[in-house]
Amino acid sequence: MNSGKIGIFDSGVGGLTVVRAVNNLLPHESVVYFGDTARLPYGSKSPETVIRFAIEDAEFLLGKGLKLLVVACNTASSVSLPALREFADVPVIGVIEPGAKAAAGITESGIVGVIGTLGTISSGAYQKALKSFESVKRVIAQPAPLLVPLVEEGMLEHNITDLILKEYTAPLVNEGIDTLVLGCTHYPLLKDALSRLLGEGIRLIDSAESTADEVASILDTEDIISDNIQGENSFYVSDIPLKFQEIAQRFLGKTIPLVTQIEVGDLH
């Protein structure tokens, strides 16, 4: 198990921020990533369909020799974890619980904000997870659907992005939040812009970093930390590998190896 890989999947490219966080925290671990780009977005699909897709994604990655599986998709995290934990013979974690736990641990006022895609916010998954902690008194959730395309276009330091961030966060600031959960795996790339906008009075919770912390904790508890000197990344997608590679290099800040395209029908 120590030589096994960490598997990470998402419906698209957003989960690459989790890859980056895992690489930074655990550089000796090897990561295999699958982006189901042929069937995105998962947020518009029924729970039954998302669960089926998630199991197919997991089955493909488990065939690569995993020791742990990360569901780096907020939609899949909100509906498929019980089924995946029953299906897989390795630990399975999502991105919602680690982010909620981190926010609950640092909030002082107990008023926590969440921004995410419309599907994630509508699911109520972050709201439910946050409210399970006694330290959280109120949760203010705000859909921020325009942020994903801005991130994927690389418009991280742009006046338009700043204006949209201000529009989305103003209601949260007015409610007196002291902690903001970035409830989409694309959003960590906007941390610098959000920090400038919100100032030091509001703490940002990067769900990708929180998830990497949870991965490290599980590897330590299960005693399956790799003894590699340096881990390797490998990437698979179900469509448009060249576009994925372009965005991935922007997300990760480095050149990545060849991206392999897998037909959806070959996931089994």
pLDDT 10s digits, 64-84: 999 999 999 998 998 999 999
pLDDT by residue (tens digit) across 103-148?
999 999 999 999 998 888 988 999 999 999 999 999 999 999 899 9
What six digits make up the tokens of 11?
């419906």
pLDDT of residue 228: 85
d(CA 268, CA 266): 5
pLDDT-derived band of residue 1, with 50, 70 and 90 as boundaries?
Answer: low
d(CA 145, CA 255): 28
d(CA 248, CA 38): 16
What six digits make up the tokens of 179?
């902690």
pLDDT-derived band of residue 268, with 50, 70 and 90 as boundaries?
Answer: low
d(CA 174, CA 138): 13
Mean per-residue pLDDT, 190-200? 95
pLDDT of residue 2: 72
Mean per-residue pLDDT, 249-267? 87
Cβ-proximal residues to 50 (8 Å cutoff; 6+ apart), any chain: 42, 75, 76, 79, 80
d(CA 66, CA 56): 15
Chain centroid, CA 75 distance in Å: 10
pLDDT of residue 131: 97
pLDDT of residue 229: 84
Whether the per-residue pLDDT at 8 is higher than 90: the answer is yes
pLDDT by residue (tens digit) across 42-69?
887 888 999 999 999 999 999 999 999 9
User: What φ, ψ does residue 245 adopt, rounded to 5°?
Assistant: -60, -40
> Which residues are registered as beta bridge partners of 8?
33, 70
Which residues are identified as catalytic?
A: 73, 184
pLDDT of residue 138: 97
pLDDT of residue 264: 80
Whether the per-residue pLDDT at 267 is higher than 90: the answer is no
Q: Which residue segments constitute the domains of the chain, with CATH numbers given?
A: 5-94+210-266 (3.40.50.1860), 97-207 (3.40.50.1860)
pLDDT by residue (tens digit) across 208-252?
999 999 999 999 999 999 988 899 999 999 999 999 999 999 889
